Structure 1
Amino acid sequence: MKVRDSFSLNPVGNTSKYTDFINYIDTSSVNAGLLSEVSFLEDEFPSRAQRLVRPGDILYSSVRPNLRHYYLYNDSYEHAVASTGFVLLRNNSSYNTRFAFYYLSTNEVVKYLSNIAELSQSTFPSFSSKDIGKIDLPDIDRKAQDQIVSILSAYDNLIEVNNKRIKVLEQMAENLYKEWFVRFRFPGHEKADFENGIPKGWAYRRADEVIDFNPTLKTGNQTEFTIIPMEALSTNSMVLDSGCFVRQDSISGRRSQNGDTLLAKITPCLENGKTGFVMGMPENEVLGGSTEFVVMRSKALTPHYVYCIARSYYFRQTAILSMNGADGRQRVDEDKLKSTKILQPEKTVLDHFETIVTPIFDGVYQMVQENKNLIQQRDLLLPRLMSGKLEV
C-alpha cells in the first residue's frame, strides 16, 4: 500500500473565505514533530498561505527534507492555514495516521526524499507530492500499528510535557524582568528614592558601554568548531536547536561562547523574534555562526539580563526601526543598536536578579537535555518497531 492509497495529497481548500484573520503555520514553524509557532495574521496574508489544516493532517515540508520540517497537526487553532511549502496529507482510510507519520519521519524515508530533492531542477532542493505519494507504507495490521503508536507516543507525551514546562520557566524569567526593570517593582522598591524616573543609583548607558557586541574571541588550540546557523534560533524561546548545528574543522561567521545572546539582524528573522541564548557548550569552546545575527555579551551587566534585554519590546523595536537596505533584505544598523540607551540597575539588585533567574535558565537547559535523551531513545526504537525486529 502506498501513501497515496491511504492519504489525500494537498486536498483542495478555499482560503478566500478567511478575510479577517488566519493562524498561519510556516515550514520554519515546525521541526521534527514539534510546533514552535503559529502566526496570527490579519488582513494581509502571505501568498503561500493556501493549505487549510484540520486535526489529523500531516504537514511535511517539500523543501530540504533533511531539515525535518514535518508535523502531525492535532491542534484546534481557528482558521488554521499552512504554507504551500508543505505537502499536506489527509487520511481517507483506516490506516493509523500517527503510525504513518512515524514511518515518514524515519531516517530511511527522510534520506529517500532528500535524494530526490537534491536531483530536482527547482531553485531549492525539493520533492513533489507525487514523490511522497509513491512511498510504500509498512504492511502491518491495524492492531500492531496501534500498539507501536502507543509505545512511541509515550515518549512524545513526555517531550510535550517538558516543552510546556520550558515555556513556563521562560515566561517566569520574562515576567520577573518586566516586574523589576520595567515596572520598577523590585525588592525594596517601596523605600527607594527615584531620580529622573529611575531609582537612585541606577543609570541609562549606551548599549556598547555595558554590552560587548560581536566580541573578538581567540580559538587557541581548538581544531573543531560548532557552527550555529540562523535556523537554530527560535522565534519564541531561548533554546537553540542543536539539531541544526554543524561541526567543521574551521570557524566562520560570528563567534560566541556560553552565556552569549544571539539576535537575528535581518528581515524577517528579527521581526519574527529569532533570538537565542548559548548554554550547555563545553567550557571556553568558541562557536561560529551566521553573520546575520548579532552576538551580545555582558560587559557590565549579567548574561541573563542581556538576554532579557534582547527579548524586550523596547530593544526589539529600536532594532527594527533602525533597519535599512533593499526591501526584503533589510538589516539592523548596528551602530544605532550600540547607541541605544540601556538601563543599568544598581549592582545589588542586578546580582539578586541573577541569583533568581540562573536556576530558571539551568532548568530550561536540563529539560532540553531530557528531551534530547527521549528523542534519541524514541528514534532508536522507531526503525526496529517499523521493521518488525522488535515485537510488540
Structure 2
Amino acid sequence: MSVTAKRKKQLRVEDASAAYMVEPQQARHSGESRNPVSTFGEVTEPKVDQNGPAKQGEFIYVDISSVDNKLKRIVDPKVLPVEKAPSRARQRLNQGDVLVSMTRPNLNAVAIVPPELDGAIGSTGFHVLRARESESSWLFYAVQTNDFVEAMCQLVQGALYPAVRPKDIRAYPIPLPPVDVQRQLVAEIEKQFTRLEAGIAALRRVQANLKRYRAAVLKAACEGRLVPTEAELARKEGRAYESADKLLARILTERREKWTGRGKYKEPTLPDTEKLAFPPEGWTWTRLDAAIVSGPQNGVYLHRDLYGRGHPILRIDDYQNGWVRPVEQLNSVDADRNTIATYQLQSGDLVVNRVNSMTHLGKCLVVRENLVPALFESNMMRARLATGIRPQYVELYLHSEEGRARLTSGAKWAVNQASINQQDVRRTALPLPPLAEQKRIVAEVERRLSVVEEQKAVVTSTFQRATRLRQSVLQRAFSQ
C-alpha cells in the first residue's frame, strides 16, 4: 500500500472517529436521536452468573494475581479442586469479558478473557464488563486510558484496601460510535500497539543483554580475566611485585595490631580450596574475616516514634547494588550522642544487608562521602576493612553472582524472608589479588558499568516514551 493510500485510510478512520468523539455534555443535550456517549453500565450486561464452580471436580480460577497489569493479560490462571475454592471464586466468565480489578485501580490490572478461558471462574475482586451493545475490545481499550484510571483513583475508598465499587466503574462515560466504527478504531489501535510491542520486546532484549554483560564483567573481574594481572605486568616490565600472599600477611599483621575485641585474638581460618577454582598467578584465596579489622556490627534499632526528626539514617530501601539514596534524602531519627558515635557510618565502610527476601538478601555498598554521617539500621551490618583491601573490590565481588552465592549460602529462612549473620559474612571465601591489581580492576569495572548505566537510562527513557505513545493512541481513539 502506498503512503498516499495509507494516509487516506488513516484519515477515513480519523474522520469516522471524529464524527462521534464529542463532548458528553454536548451529546446529552444535542437533541439528536443517537447518543454518541454512553456509560459502561448502559452497554454491558447488568450482572454475570455468580454461582461459582460446579459442585465437583476441578475448575480454572482467575484472580487479581493472575493478571499481568503491564501486559494486560491473564498470565497465571490456577487450576483448583472445588473443595479448595476460595470464597471469592464466584463469577462465571465468558470469552470476551473484560475484567477490571476494583482494588488499587492505579495499577490498572485489566484483561480480556481469551477463548481458552471461556467458562473459567473469576474472583469477585473483578468487575466484569460483558458487552451488550458494543465491541468487547472497545471496552477493553477504554479501561486502559489514563482518563479512566485517574477517574477511578479519585473514587477510591479505604486506606488499607483501596478499592472502587462496581457502580463507580459502570457510571464511567465512554464514547460510543457505531459498532462498525468501533471495529475500525480497534483495528487501528491494535495495529499501532503491535508496532509498539515489537519495539518494547526489542528493549527487553537489550535489558537482558545489559544484565548478562554486567554479570560477565563482574565474573571476569573476580577471576583475573578483566585486566592484566600484576604478575604479568611485573614480568613484562622486569620488576618485582607484592603478591597476594605477601599482602595477606601484611593485612593479618594490621588486623592483630588493631584487634579490640573481647578475649584472646584468633587468627582467621583459610577456606577449603578444594572446592574453589585455582587462583590466577599472584592471587590467593582467603576469607572476608581476614580482611575485616572492625566488625561486622549489626545496626541500630530505634522505636518508630523517634523517626521523622534528628540524624539521617540508612534504611533497607535506601540502596540497591549499584545505587544509593543521597544523605539529604534519607529519613531521620532522634538519636543520642552515644548511639550516633556507635552507629555513624564512615567513608569506606562496607554495609551488608542481613535480613530481606532472598532476592535482595546480601545486597551491599561501600559508603561514599555522600552518605556520611548517616546511621545504619538493624537489618544491616557494617564492617571496616584493612588498608591492604580496596573496599570497592570487595563490593564488586559481593555484587557478582559467585560472591553473593557464597555470602548467602548459609542463609536461614523464616516467613517471607531470609537472613545471614556475622559469621556468614566472616566465612565468605574471597579471591584476593595484589593491591595494585585491585585498583586496576575497580577502575575498569567502574568504566564498563558506567557505560551499562548510560544504556540502561536510554532504555528506561525509551520505555517511558513507549508508554506515552500507547496512551497517545488511546487518547486519540477515545477523545471526546
**TM, length-normalised to structure 1:** 0.56
Kept in 1: contact 2:110–2:144 (CA 8 A): no
Amino acid at match of 2:412: S
Q: Out of 373, 386, 389, which is 2:478 matched to?
A: 386
SS state at 1:343 partner: strand
Q: Out of 127, 141, 146, which is 2:187 matched to?
A: 146
Q: Out of 108, 125, 142, which is 2:147 matched to?
A: 108
Q: Out of 45, 57, 62, which is 2:102 matched to?
A: 62
State the alpha-carbon separation in 1 of the partners of residues 393 and 92 from structure 2: 47
Give how far 1:265 is off: 3.9
Matched, 1:322 2:412: yes
Kept in 1: contact 2:63–2:123 (CA 8 A): no
State the alpha-carbon separation in 2 of the partners of residues 362 and 331 from structure 1: 33
Matched, 1:155 2:234: no
Cα deviation per residue 1:37-68 (whole Å; 9 max; x = unaligned)? 9799999x9969969999977664432222x2
Matched, 1:332 2:419: yes
**Inter-CA distance 209–90: structure 2 relative to 1 (3 Å threshold):** farther
The residue correspondences of 1:1-392 to structure 2 (distance < 5 A) are: 2-3=39-40, 5-6=43-44, 17=58, 26=65, 30-33=68-71, 60-66=100-106, 68-70=107-109, 72=111, 84=123, 87=126, 89=128, 99-117=138-156, 119-120=157-158, 123-129=160-166, 131-140=168-177, 141-142=181-182, 143-174=184-215, 177=218, 186=225, 196=273, 197-198=276-277, 199=279, 201-206=283-288, 209=292, 251-252=330-331, 265-266=355-356, 270-271=357-358, 299-301=391-393, 305-309=397-401, 312-318=404-410, 321-323=411-413, 327=415, 332=419, 335=422, 338-339=425-426, 341=428, 343-346=430-433, 347=438, 356-380=448-472, 382-388=474-480
**Inter-CA distance 74–334: structure 2 relative to 1 (3 Å threshold):** farther
**TM, length-normalised to structure 2:** 0.48
Q: Which runs of 5+ in 1 are unaligned?
A: 217-224
Amino acid at match of 1:138: P
**Inter-CA distance 343–104: structure 2 relative to 1 (3 Å threshold):** farther
State the alpha-carbon separation in 2 of the partners of residues 96 and 322 from structure 1: 53
State the alpha-carbon separation in 2 of the partners of residues 367 and 332 from structure 1: 33
Cα deviation per residue 1:209-230 (whole Å; 9 max; x = unaligned)? 59999999xxxxxxxx9x9996
Give the aligned length: 337
Kept in 1: contact 2:412–2:420 (CA 8 A): yes
Tell me the C-alpha RMSD between the 2 structures: 6.4
State the alpha-carbon separation in 2 of the partners of residues 73 and 311 from structure 1: 44
Specify which structure has the higher proportion of helix: 2
Kept in 1: contact 2:406–2:429 (CA 8 A): no
Give how far 1:368 is off: 1.2
State the alpha-carbon separation in 2 of the partners of residues 310 and 55 from structure 1: 47
Kept in 2: contact 1:10–1:89 (CA 8 A): no
State the alpha-carbon separation in 2 of the partners of residues 54 and 314 from structure 1: 50
Kept in 2: contact 1:275–1:310 (CA 8 A): no
State the alpha-carbon separation in 2 of the partners of residues 115 and 305 from structure 1: 47
**Inter-CA distance 343–23: structure 2 relative to 1 (3 Å threshold):** farther
**Inter-CA distance 340–308: structure 2 relative to 1 (3 Å threshold):** same
**Inter-CA distance 177–387: structure 2 relative to 1 (3 Å threshold):** same
Corresponding residue number in structure 2 for 1:222: none
Give how far 1:162 is off: 0.8
Amino acid at match of 2:203: N
Amino acid at match of 1:64: R
State the alpha-carbon separation in 2 of the partners of residues 309 and 102 from structure 1: 41
Cα deviation per residue 1:61-98 (whole Å; 9 max; x = unaligned)? 432222x25254799999xx999596275766695555
Give how far 1:296 is off: 9.9
Amino acid at match of 1:144: L
SS state at 1:165 partner: helix
Q: Which runs of 5+ in 2 are unaligned?
A: 1-37, 233-243, 246-271, 301-311, 334-344, 384-389
State the alpha-carbon separation in 2 of the partners of residues 73 and 239 from structure 1: 39
> Identity of paired residues, percent?
11
State the alpha-carbon separation in 2 of the partners of residues 357 and 365 from structure 1: 12
State the alpha-carbon separation in 1 of the partners of residues 377 and 413 from structure 2: 16
**Inter-CA distance 178–239: structure 2 relative to 1 (3 Å threshold):** closer
Amino acid at match of 1:132: I
Kept in 2: contact 1:26–1:82 (CA 8 A): no
